[in-house]
Amino acid sequence: MPFSRIAGTGGYLPPQIVTNQDLERLVDTTDDWIVERTGIRQRHIAKAECASDLALPAAQRALEMAGRRADEVDLIVMGTSTPDLVFPSTACRLQHKLGISQCAALDVNAACSGFVYALSVADSFIRSGTYQCVLVVGSEVMSRLMDWSDRTTCVLFGDGAGAMLLEASTEPGIFSTHIHSDAAYEELLYVSGGVSCAVDPAAQHGAFLRMKGNEVFRFAVNTLGRIVDETLEANGMRREDIDWLVPHQANIRIIQATARKLRLPMENVVLTVERHGNTSSASIPLALDEAVRDGRIRRGDNILMEAFGGGFTWGSALARF
């Protein structure tokens, strides 16, 4: 059975930066509060770009690192909860922007766990022998879901895209992926409007992300602790076997709790939350790409990726780079 090997990574952030000081002028908040509670100092915010626009340069960079042409891609899997349109899917629109046709393209919506879910889908297609070259992307324009008068959410999120090019290989690659969901906690984290359902009156004025942050926080810390154990156990590995934690970047305190669980020093945790904020399904591939390109993550290193998000959804992936 073939494995998926990470042949290339790429990332892209829209150029406009919004600092905590900028947000102090918008809502009743302070730089000190945001930094202390979340670790975030700034975030990138898209202007007119949509998710497929952000995904394009990220995908091109991943292809370039892998030494692959776009027309060699068999499948595009896009993790996004901020799609360009309901359909065509954002993956289809990215395919068109890459100048290719014919290959399969689909979106996966698992909120902030979207990249881990997309990776799991891509890995399954490679392991089954169906496809040999798969582009996995996480791309989000979270700023479009923000209620810019709600200080409890608008300071947390940012926009961006990250990509990974997977190839079939005789060696791992991806050791395993683990994905879960439980919708019993919907009222703690949801978007207020959609297409066939609107769950609160604000939906009449647009769709906004709503979150009871402190309750989500507690759930996320416990759940991510459990998924670390599940992932190590599934692969017969110990904590010491992990070289790098590449977590979803929602909150520095959640990340620190997972690192403590792994007994991993923070130097071995890839952090972007300070500069990117929470870019939902883009955060893991953006962080991975940064650490690969600056030489921290090297071929042969074992990396644990994990995420928690709306749904609730959560998941992990253990890979050898």
Q: Is 151 in the site for ligand UT7 (CB under 6 A)?
A: yes
Q: Per rule CB under 6 A, is residue 208 in the interface with ligand UT7?
A: no
Q: Which residue in the set 309, 311, 314, 321 belongs to the binding site for ligand UT7 (CB under 6 A)?
A: 309
Pick the binder of ligand UT7 from 98, 135, 216, 271 (CB under 6 A): 216
Per CB under 6 A, the segment of 64-72, 84-92, 149-157, 287-295 that binds ligand UT7 is 149-157
Helix (H, G, I), strand (E, B) or coil at 86: coil
- Distance in angstroms (rounded) separating the CA atoms of residues 229 and 238: 9
The CA-atom distances, in angstroms, between 97 and each of 51, 52, 59, 80 are 12, 8, 10, 17
Whether 154 sits among the annotated catalytic residues: the reply is: no
Question: Catalytic site residue 268?
Answer: no
Q: Which residues pair with 309 in a beta bridge?
A: 313
Only one residue has tokens 């991806």, namely: 174
- 158 near ligand UT7, judged by CB under 6 A: no
- Six-digit token string for 276: 């990117």
Catalytic residue among 92, 112, 133, 154: 112
Q: Positive or negative CA dihedral for 22, 26, 30, 36?
A: negative
Q: Is 33 in the site for ligand UT7 (CB under 6 A)?
A: yes
- Report d(CA 109, CA 216) in Å as an integer: 19
CB-based closest residue to ligand UT7:
213
What is the rounded distance in angstroms from the CA atom of residue 286 to the CA atom of residue 138? 9
Tell which positions 166-195 bind ligand UT7, by CB under 6 A. Answer: none
By C-beta, is 152 or 268 nearer to ligand UT7?
Answer: 152
Binding mask 270-289 for ligand UT7 (x = CB under 6 A): --------x-----------
Closest to 252 in 3D by CA, of 282, 272, 233, 232: 272
Tokens linked to 117: 């879910």
Among 4, 38, 139, 143, binds ligand UT7 (CB under 6 A): 38
76, 112, 161, 166: residue in contact with ligand UT7 (rule CB under 6 A): 112
**276 Cβ contact list (under 8 Å, min separation 6):** 13, 43, 44, 158, 160, 249, 283, 286
> Is 180 among the residues known to form the active site?
no
Total site size for ligand UT7, rule CB under 6 A: 20
- Identify which of 126, 113, 106, 103 has the alpha carbon closest to the alpha carbon of residue 2: 126
Cβ-based nearer residue to ligand UT7, 75 or 224: 224
Where does this chain touch ligand UT7 (CB under 6 A) — which range of 169-177, 197-205, 249-257, 289-297?
Answer: 249-257
The residues annotated as belonging to the active site are 112, 248, 278
Which positions lie near ligand UT7, rule CB under 6 A? 29, 33-34, 37-38, 112, 151-152, 155, 213-214, 216-217, 220, 250-251, 254, 278, 308-309
